[in-house]
Amino acid sequence: MTAAPRAIGSGFTTGLHPDYHANTVEVSKIEFDKLARITQLVYETGVRIANLDHAPVRDNKGPRAGRHTE
């Protein structure tokens, strides 16, 4: 599957941590309250976007503003 023409991507991150992609990860290190808050944020954002009566629009006001010519 390919992205739709002019698709707007998104991503969520909390940054890197010492166990990122390491074999030292343990369940005891998971911050479940934080995980729940982030999951709720992603869910609510997706619902809001899905329920828009128009397509999302790029505002070009972020840190990458001006890098795209379209």
Asked whether the whole model's pTM tops 0.95, one would answer no
Please give the C-alpha separations between residue 4 and each of 1, 8, 30, in angstroms, as whole numbers. 9, 9, 35
Q: What pLDDT score does 6 carry?
A: 66
Q: Whose CA is closest to 45, among 1, 10, 5?
A: 10
How do residues 9-60 score in pLDDT, each as one tens digit? 778 888 888 888 888 888 898 899 999 999 999 999 999 999 999 988 877 7
Q: What pLDDT score does 56 carry?
A: 82
* Residue 19 and residue 25 in contact, taking contact as beta carbons nearer than 8 Å: yes
Residue tagged 């991507």 (tokens): 9
Please give the C-alpha separations between residue 16 and each of 9, 11, 13, 65, in angstroms, as whole numbers. 20, 14, 8, 25
Q: What pLDDT score does 3 carry?
A: 62
